[in-house]
Chain A
Amino acid sequence: MKYIKALRDLTINPKRTLLVIFALFIGVWGIGTVGVSYYILTNDLNTNFQKTNPAHLVLYSKDFEKLPLSEFNNIPAVENAELRDFVVERIEVLPDIWIPLHLYGVEDFDNTKVAKVLAEKGNLKPKLGTISIERDGLKISNIEIGSNPRLRIGNKVINVPVSSISFDPAQAPATQDHLIYAYTDKKTFSNLTGKKINQRLIIRLNNVNSHDDVKKISQQLISRLDKKDINVTNVDIPLFNEHPHQWQLNTILFIVGVIGLLAFILGSVLVAQLMRAILAKQVRQIGIMKATGSSRFQVFQIYIIMLLILGFISGAFAVPLSVLAGSAYAKFVAGILNFDILSSIPFYIYAILFTSSLLLPLLLSLSALLKGTNISVKDALNDYGINNNIKIKPLAILKKFNLSNISLLSIRNTLRNSNRLTVTIITMALGVAIFSTGFNVRQSLWELLNNLENELQYDVQVVLNNQISKTDAIKPFQLLRNVESIHLWNSGNSHSKELSTKKGASIISLPYNTQLIKPKFIKGDWLSQTKEIDVVLNQQAWALYGYHEIGTSFDIYIKDSLIKVKLVGIIEQLAKASLYIDEKKYNSLYNKNNLVNTITFVAKKNDYNSVIALKKSIEENILPSKLSVAYVMSDAEKVKVIFDHLNIILSVIIFLSFLVLSVSAIGMATATGINISERTREIGVMRSIGATPKKIYTLFIYEGMIISITSILIGLILSYPLSQLASIFFGNLMLGEKAVLAYAFSPLGFAITIVTTISFGWLASRIPALNAVKLSTRDALSYE
């Protein structure tokens, strides 16, 4: 009989039952989707990455051939070592569109043990004289198997056939870095590039657990090789056991996690509210059951059965759909970060989700159940009609505003269930705060991009592979149209005294009074004419060199000689570690012939189309020249590359913030629905004393608007500290430790937040309000 009672109670008000199922569905689906995508993504990027057996260390030397490869492999600390050459050239991906080509020369495709490349389409090993293109590059080019793209190798242009497509999940996605990865055999590599092979050794080490371990062993290795007459010229230690774009995934997972948790909390609040309302409605029935001999436990059992039925139905829909949605989201992220989904969802995940859907309503309703079933028979049977026991203060202050009685009634009604109101406002305000924070963070990132765009006052930059004279550098471009001025800079590498490896910051030597860079300063100032060797660092270089204070001097290595430099400024940039130095000082020490390797163009007309046209003309002039070009990039494209890195995060923030706001609105609609259903008799009474349906409708819309506006105000206030925290978090994640992404207020976001929240609030009140006025006066008065 208990089952029949539970079932009948559910079917007697199908709309309300559906609402509870929907609320439970939202909670389970939200947490399930997040959980499933979290499960897949945390496992799979790393699994894809580790599957390639990534190198811990890369050594450069011209002397590796002095020893057989087995000698390197026999070093106890070395798990595996391979000679894999690498060069950056250029490839034409679309007509007259050239981007960097990262070309690797692989010794033996069939037996790679370090930094393995996988076959995607065709044979992994490209035919002699051909190359294999990494699959992510296909998304930004018209290259396919059988294509014969043009490669710019040094100062020659040659066509090289593509014979296969490979997959290298350890690389940063080509789409985001705007470059192409390609692989070929050593012979073809040598023929194509004209470079000596076997000058780059990739090593996977035994028993290393951290970047520091690798650093320590690299020092031992270098001195060991030095004794064998192998002079290591450069060392590169990649991120330890971490995909280059793991930071993006971490950010996405963090956002998904936080927002998923919020969606879960909001869904839970929704369910708890509904269950409280249902139990409140059943008070008289509880009294009747108790009066006819039922124990509290027996009454309790009926509601447990009811909750289990609700949990079962919502779980039956939510669990498979959350697995589908979570998998689809993981697939979307995997597509962007260029890795394969390998995980299948284990049975225990389904079991956890389904158990949650059964237990969730029980846990959330427990306090209401205990309270509801504890009511005395007398109190239960006396529960009838309008709840006159509401203790509400008249709020004398409201009188001063000369409000109409309907407005006064709306305000008082809003306050009549303070617990529910608090929960509704908190959930809605949280939704508003997160939504608004999403826009503010997006604005911060946009402003960062704008700063970058404004920072660079030039339009196109050509970076050469080698240093040449100023006359040779400028010669191919003398007849170019739309060029205001051409500036020639030099660049090189520096590294810290403390670093065991030689990886450091790029040096950019340029006139101290250049007008082409107008950076945003974190601290200090730009270069000036002084006697000391002043440097300006971007925050990545600042972190690399140990966060020196402005005005302090420190030692760095440039071209293997130690030099003391003075830090005068730290600038905000979204770029690799860079150090700026006055060209006269740099040239007097390291570049006595005044050679250059960077040609910077300022356009006369610098709208996007004119700059792209100028870039094309530059490319056309490079083709017949003898210049060996590393890359040609316009300022606009540079910003686009950075934007592409951030875009996925921006999209996730906005999408998920919208989701939270939507769930909050559903919560509000539910709370309003409960409020209205609890006051159905009151509606009937108002109708019977002359209130038209329109007036009743207006009353509920007022109530909804009061809640919405209060939530907006609280949410917007809350969004200020939240946005600042988010700026610090994203700043640290994207720009490096101690870097703060400046807080920015988004006027567009503010407007969208207000319009969206008020619209949601209006809808959340309108739907239940319309239902309320649909009810006839007779039905409303006889409602129990």
Chain B
Amino acid sequence: MDNKILELKNISKKYQTKERTFTALNNINLSINKGEYLAIVGKSGSGKSTLLNMVTGIDHPTKGKVIVNNTEVGEMNESDLAQWRGKNIGIVFQFFQLIPTLSISENILLAMEFVNKIPKNERENKIKELLKQVGIYTHKDKMPSALSGGEQQRAAISRALANNPDIIIADEPTGNLDSKTAEAIHLLFKSLTKMGKTVIVITHETNTELKYDRIITLSDGKII
């Protein structure tokens, strides 16, 4: 049985400036399986963020194909892409990026409203479930500014899970957290993979061996 959830085929991404052409990704081929906990590591400028953008459809490759859950990402327009992303991919950012004018539960609800995947009458229960899962249910009515960094990141993970996506992509999710909180977040991600989610973490951390199922290292736009 084919267990692949994400496939990058001959992906290249070039940026054209006035002075030169910069190759951010150079002929990347990568397959990721369902339930995998994967790290993409590399130094600054290695192409990690560009790769994240390719996978999430935030940016399009100059060459090659991105196939997620049997859907070719490059063939959708901006509106379809936003909806597709909301349904299939949950993104967690380094600086949490919660909407500051909405409470924690409202942040999760907003993601559900945008996508309309979860039926309205199930949303409240789903939010409760998600917040309990990440351990911040008691903070559900608080505004983001009232929470610590670790709590905000847990809230951001809940939001990423709001529409029950198959893939979670986290961009430096622990980069702004202390080591204890970072460890807790990794455990949380690990628990998600046990529920069948695929978690891809973009990081520049070097001490990654023990945490992930697989580590992909990028350097100068190539997998090494």
Q: Which residues of A come within 8 Å of B, CB atoms?
A: 384-392, 394, 404-406, 408-409, 412-413, 415-416, 681-682, 685-695, 776-778, 781
| A688 close to B91 (CB less than 8 A) | yes
User: Chain B residues near A695 (CB, 8 Å)?
Assistant: 114
User: Chain A residues near B85 (CB, 8 Å)?
Assistant: 687-690
- A-B interface, 3 closest residue pairs, ranked by CB to CB distance from nearest: A690-B86, A412-B101, A385-B95
| A690 close to B103 (CB less than 8 A) | no
| B97 close to A685 (CB less than 8 A) | yes
CB distance from B110 to the nearest CB of A (A): 5
| B101 close to A409 (CB less than 8 A) | yes
User: Chain A residues near B160 (CB, 8 Å)?
Assistant: 689
CB distance from A406 to the nearest CB of B (A): 6
For the complex, give the distance between the alpha carbons of A776 and B77 in Å: 11
16 inter-chain pairs at a CB distance below 8 angstroms, sorted by A residue, are A386-B97, A386-B100, A388-B96, A388-B144, A390-B100, A405-B102, A406-B110, A412-B102, A687-B85, A688-B56, A690-B163, A691-B86, A693-B78, A693-B82, A694-B79, A777-B59
67-100 of chain B: CB within 8 A of chain A: 78-79, 82-83, 85-87, 90-91, 93, 95-100
Q: Which residues of B come within 8 Å of A, CB atoms?
A: 53, 56, 58-59, 78-79, 82-83, 85-87, 90-91, 93, 95-103, 106, 109-111, 113-115, 141, 143-145, 152, 159-160, 162-163
Candidates A392, A682, A691, A776; contact of B114 at CB < 8 Å: A691
User: Chain A residues near B53 (CB, 8 Å)?
Assistant: 778
| B58 close to A693 (CB less than 8 A) | no
Give B113's nearest chain A residue, CB to CB: A405
For the complex, give the distance between the alpha carbons of A385 and B59 in Å: 19
For the complex, give the distance between the alpha carbons of A345 and B112 in Å: 64
| A776 close to B145 (CB less than 8 A) | no
| A692 close to B79 (CB less than 8 A) | yes
User: Chain B residues near A691 (CB, 8 Å)?
Assistant: 82, 86, 114
| A394 close to B141 (CB less than 8 A) | yes
If the complex has contacts A404-B113, A781-B58, are A385 and B100 also in contact, measured as CB distance less than 8 A?
no
CB distance from A415 to the nearest CB of B (A): 8
If the complex has contacts A392-B101, A682-B97, A693-B82, are A688 and B145 also in contact, measured as CB distance less than 8 A?
no
User: Chain B residues near A415 (CB, 8 Å)?
Assistant: 101
User: Chain B residues near A693 (CB, 8 Å)?
Assistant: 78-79, 82
For the complex, give the distance between the alpha carbons of A778 and B143 in Å: 26
User: Chain A residues near B110 (CB, 8 Å)?
Assistant: 405-406, 409, 686, 689
| A386 close to B86 (CB less than 8 A) | no
| A413 close to B98 (CB less than 8 A) | no
User: Chain A residues near B100 (CB, 8 Å)?
Assistant: 386-390, 392, 416, 682
CB distance from B45 to the nearest CB of A (A): 14
| B97 close to A389 (CB less than 8 A) | no
CB distance from A86 to the nearest CB of B (A): 76
For the complex, give the distance between the alpha carbons of A412 and B113 in Å: 17
For the complex, give the distance between the alpha carbons of A388 and B160 in Å: 18
| Besides the known contacts A389-B100, A688-B91, 5 further A-B residue pairs in the complex with CB atoms under 8 A apart | A388-B144, A390-B100, A412-B101, A688-B56, A778-B53
For the complex, give the distance between the alpha carbons of A394 and B82 in Å: 28
| B95 close to A384 (CB less than 8 A) | yes
If the complex has contacts A391-B145, A409-B110, A690-B114, are A685 and B93 also in contact, measured as CB distance less than 8 A?
yes
| B97 close to A690 (CB less than 8 A) | no
| A778 close to B101 (CB less than 8 A) | no
Candidates B58, B111, B144, B145; contact of A777 at CB < 8 Å: B58
Tally A-B pairs: CB < 8 A: 113
Give A389's nearest chain B residue, CB to CB: B145
| B87 close to A690 (CB less than 8 A) | yes
CB distance from A275 to the nearest CB of B (A): 23
CB distance from A692 to the nearest CB of B (A): 4
User: Chain A residues near B141 (CB, 8 Å)?
Assistant: 394
User: Chain B residues near A685 (CB, 8 Å)?
Assistant: 93, 97, 99
Candidates B114, B144, B152; contact of A689 at CB < 8 Å: B114
CB distance from B118 to the nearest CB of A (A): 11
For the complex, give the distance between the alpha carbons of A685 and B159 in Å: 11
For the complex, give the distance between the alpha carbons of A17 and B141 in Å: 40
Give A414's nearest chain B residue, CB to CB: B101
| B97 close to A390 (CB less than 8 A) | no
CB distance from A37 to the nearest CB of B (A): 45
User: Chain A residues near B91 (CB, 8 Å)?
Assistant: 688-689
| A409 close to B114 (CB less than 8 A) | no
User: Chain A residues near B90 (CB, 8 Å)?
Assistant: 689
For the complex, give the distance between the alpha carbons of A303 and B74 in Å: 44
| B83 close to A692 (CB less than 8 A) | yes
Give B56's nearest chain A residue, CB to CB: A688
For the complex, give the distance between the alpha carbons of A462 and B95 in Å: 87
For the complex, give the distance between the alpha carbons of A404 and B102 in Å: 12
For the complex, give the distance between the alpha carbons of A405 and B162 in Å: 14
Candidates B59, B93, B106, B162; contact of A408 at CB < 8 Å: B106
If the complex has contacts A390-B101, A405-B102, A685-B97, are A690 and B109 also in contact, measured as CB distance less than 8 A?
no
| A406 close to B93 (CB less than 8 A) | no
| B152 close to A388 (CB less than 8 A) | yes
| B111 close to A409 (CB less than 8 A) | no
Candidates B78, B87, B95, B101; contact of A416 at CB < 8 Å: B101
| B83 close to A686 (CB less than 8 A) | no
| A776 close to B59 (CB less than 8 A) | yes
Give A782's nearest chain B residue, CB to CB: B49
For the complex, give the distance between the alpha carbons of A777 and B49 in Å: 13
User: Chain B residues near A387 (CB, 8 Å)?
Assistant: 100
User: Chain B residues near A404 (CB, 8 Å)?
Assistant: 113
| A390 close to B79 (CB less than 8 A) | no
For the complex, give the distance between the alpha carbons of A733 and B205 in Å: 79
For the complex, give the distance between the alpha carbons of A391 and B101 in Å: 8
Give A780's nearest chain B residue, CB to CB: B58
For the complex, give the distance between the alpha carbons of A690 and B84 in Å: 7
If the complex has contacts A388-B144, A388-B152, are A689 and B111 also in contact, measured as CB distance less than 8 A?
yes
CB distance from A388 to the nearest CB of B (A): 5
| A385 close to B99 (CB less than 8 A) | no
| A385 close to B163 (CB less than 8 A) | no
User: Chain B residues near A388 (CB, 8 Å)?
Assistant: 95-96, 98, 100, 144-145, 152
Q: Which of A690, A693, A694 has the most CB of B within 10 A?
A: A690
For the complex, give the distance between the alpha carbons of A469 and B165 in Å: 104
User: Chain A residues near B78 (CB, 8 Å)?
Assistant: 692-693, 776-777
If the complex has contacts A394-B143, A688-B58, are A681 and B97 also in contact, measured as CB distance less than 8 A?
yes
For the complex, give the distance between the alpha carbons of A778 and B49 in Å: 10
For the complex, give the distance between the alpha carbons of A153 and B196 in Å: 109
User: Chain B residues near A682 (CB, 8 Å)?
Assistant: 97, 99-100
User: Chain A residues near B97 (CB, 8 Å)?
Assistant: 385-386, 681-682, 685
User: Chain B residues near A405 (CB, 8 Å)?
Assistant: 102, 106, 109-110, 113
Give A404's nearest chain B residue, CB to CB: B113
For the complex, give the distance between the alpha carbons of A384 and B111 in Å: 23
Give A415's nearest chain B residue, CB to CB: B101
User: Chain B residues near A687 (CB, 8 Å)?
Assistant: 82, 85
| B98 close to A394 (CB less than 8 A) | no
User: Chain B residues near A692 (CB, 8 Å)?
Assistant: 78-79, 82-83, 114
User: Chain A residues near B113 (CB, 8 Å)?
Assistant: 404-406
Give A694's nearest chain B residue, CB to CB: B79
